[in-house]
């Protein structure tokens, strides 16, 4: 039997966070959007590789996988179940509902109660779950009263179909308004080293111990391009730029739950090794100065 070491499961080194007071996860997770086809539409080019990525993620100590019914649509959730069901006991599969997908690269908010209920039921079926541990409203639909959208999630929670409720792409004001109706345990906003428009939201989540899931954590490769200041810092640390950018996120706040995604096992392994990288205050200061927002 091969002895499991911390270095063989590097995500363990990212530290832990307790979502909603009862779901303990390693802070470096995996985002399952990019295992779908081009435009987040259809099946991946290499299905076997996508399955391998998901299984390798768990091998590396990742126990938080973020997906959505709209990724594919439906493709990402189906792949997760095909690769990992029956799930490891400590694995949290978080999913989202609230978008229609009429075509590749096209996203339209749909927060109508009947849509959210059907979306949740579909996710339960595809993921082969009795209950979704973290169900996130993918967007607050401005065309639908917020009380109707959150009320539907509360109904699903009371029915035992979802355990905890999260939000995505919201302001501090949105969080406070929704929190008058429901307990919010996570917020998923766009945030990375060079795009910090959600800084106030991150600060709010840190104060209130709400998990902050930064999507676009590597700016779709922009942060990994050569010959920039980040690459120079990475060279000094004998690391890859992506690893430095992820290590910066992990050190930025104890509620930060980065979910870098990829369709390649090699990229996954490189990303997860960011959890082994320790940044000192001087390096953090240099990286903080790179913000363009």
Active site residues: 71
What stretches of the chain adopt beta strand conformation (E)? 16-19, 23-26, 30-31, 64-66, 92-97, 99-103, 106-109, 132-137, 162-168, 184-190, 211-215
How many Cβ atoms from other residues are within 10 Å of residue 221's Cβ? 9
Any alpha helices (H) in 128-264, and if so which ranges?
146-158, 172-179, 199-208, 229-236, 241-252
Cβ atoms of 161 and 187 closer than 8 Å: no
CA atoms within 13 A on the CB side of 145: 5
DSSP 2: P
- Give the C-alpha separation, 195 to 60, whole Å: 28
* Radius of gyration of the chain from its Cα atoms, rounded to whole angstroms: 18
């Amino acid at each position: 039997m091969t002895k499991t070491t911390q270095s063989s499961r590097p995500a363990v080194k990212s530290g832990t966070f307790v979502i909603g007071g009862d779901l303990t996860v390693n802070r470096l997770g995996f985002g399952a959007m990019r295992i779908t086809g081009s435009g987040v539409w259809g099946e991946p080019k290499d299905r076997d590789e996508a399955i391998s990525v998901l299984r390798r993620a768990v091998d590396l100590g990742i126990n938080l996988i973020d997906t959505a019914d709209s990724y594919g649509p439906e493709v990402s959730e189906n792949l997760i179940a095909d690769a990992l069901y029956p799930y490891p006991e400590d694995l949290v599969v978080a999913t989202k509902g609230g978008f229609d997908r009429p075509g590749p690269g096209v996203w339209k908010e749909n927060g109508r109660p009947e849509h959210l209920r059907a979306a949740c039921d579909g996710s339960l079926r595809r993921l082969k779950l009795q209950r979704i541990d973290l169900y996130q409203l993918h967007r607050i639909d401005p065309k639908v009263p917020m009380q109707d959208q959150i009320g539907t999630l509360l109904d699903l929670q009371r029915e035992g179909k979802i355990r905890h409720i999260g939000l995505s792409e919201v302001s501090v004001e949105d969080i406070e308004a929704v929190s008058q109706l429901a307990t919010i345990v996570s917020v998923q906003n766009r945030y990375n080293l060079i795009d910090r428009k959600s800084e106030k939201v991150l600060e709010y989540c840190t104060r209130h111990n709400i998990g902050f899931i930064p999507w676009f954590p590597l700016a779709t490769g922009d942060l990994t391009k050569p010959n920039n200041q980040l690459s120079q810092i990475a060279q000094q640390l004998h690391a890859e730029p992506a690893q430095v950018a992820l290590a910066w996120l992990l050190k930025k706040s104890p509620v930060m739950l980065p979910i870098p995604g990829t369709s390649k096992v090699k990229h996954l392994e490189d990303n997860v090794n960011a959890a082994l990288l320790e940044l000192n205050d001087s390096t953090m200061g240099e990286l903080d100065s790179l913000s363009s927002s």
